Amino acid sequence: MIGTLNNRRTKTGDLLRTMTGTMGLCLLVGGCATYEPAQKGYVGATAKLADSVTSDGERCASFFFLEAYDGHDVQNALIATQRRNSGRGMAMTIEGYSRPVPAQEATFHIMGRTHCAAPIIEVGNTVYLIEGDVKFAPQGDGQYAVKGELQDDHSAVWVEDLSTGMQRGNKLLVKGSTALNRGTLLLFGPAVAKSSKQAVEEIPPK
């Protein structure tokens, strides 16, 4: 199935573009409230879904993470890393993140994105972005992770069952580059300036 990257990207792109100011405000007010997939009071079975990060050097990394659960923005490794490194300039220490999710079918909005310690570093580097919705039903006590690849000739993001190494839900694949535009548009414009024009292929599990 071929689809297009959905309109959530505009909002997400604006968030990622203005993260420095947003994170500063969150720190001042004691942290931004985010939706938890397993809400307080939920008594059903749960699984754990972790984000993953691959280092691209001392100042940049590839983040693969849950951006939203059933339409609700959630805490993730990118936000946690931004918060941990606020005010550190060109330095970046990666902060991992995982969360419990109900053992029931849901829509997981997952993303793969290059992120660097400072916006000016991103202007001088290739920044890739891919995202989309994946539906699947986690198993109780299951262990899952958002995985991905960001390369010149393709980008992909998917959910993997850590106990079996198998894909859960569709794998999202873009053939070709998902690099963002450089210059002021990369700094201040929507994150989807270029990559939203790419077609995303949804590959079912084998």
Q: What is the pLDDT of residues 71-126, one digit of tens each?
A: 999 999 999 999 998 887 788 999 999 999 999 999 999 999 999 988 888 888 88
List beta partners, residue 139. Answer: none
Question: Alpha-carbon distance 162 to 187, whole Å?
Answer: 35
Under a CB-based contact definition with an 8 Å cutoff, are residues 156 and 134 in contact? no
Is residue 39 one of the residues assigned to a domain?
no
Phi and psi (nearest 5°) for 38? Answer: -95, 90
pLDDT of amino acid 16: 42
pLDDT higher at 27 or 198: 198
Is residue 32 one of the residues assigned to a domain?
no
Is residue 37 one of the residues assigned to a domain?
no
Count of CB atoms situated within 10 Å of the CB of 107:
13
Is residue 164 one of the residues assigned to a domain?
yes
Range of the domain at 180: 2-27+46-203
Residue pointed to by tokens 């920044």: 127
Residue pointed to by tokens 């990369």: 186
Is residue 40 one of the residues assigned to a domain?
no
Average pLDDT for residues 25-36, to the nearest whole number? 52
Is residue 116 one of the residues assigned to a domain?
yes
Nearest to 201 by CA among 172, 176, 179: 172
Share of the chain above pLDDT 90, in %: 57
Task: Give how many domains the chain has, as a whole number.
Answer: 1
Coil vs helix vs strand at 112: strand
Is residue 36 one of the residues assigned to a domain?
no
Is residue 33 one of the residues assigned to a domain?
no
Under a CB-based contact definition with an 8 Å cutoff, are residues 99 and 45 in contact? no
Residue pointed to by tokens 């060109």: 90
Write the burial class of residue 110 (CB in 10 Å: 0-12 exposed, 13-18 middle, 19+ buried): buried
Coil vs helix vs strand at 68: strand
Coil vs helix vs strand at 30: coil
Residue 187 identity (one-letter amino acid): L
Q: 132-151 in b/e burial notation, b at 16+ Cβ within 10 A?
A: bbbebebeeebbbbbbbbbe
pLDDT higher at 20 or 63: 63
Q: Mean pLDDT score of the chain, rounded to an integer?
A: 82
pLDDT band at 186 (very low <50, low <70, confident <90, very high): low
Point out the least confidently predicted range of 3-7, 24-28, 41-45, 187-191: 24-28
pLDDT of amino acid 24: 41
Average pLDDT for residues 58-71, to the nearest whole number? 94
pLDDT higher at 184 or 15: 184
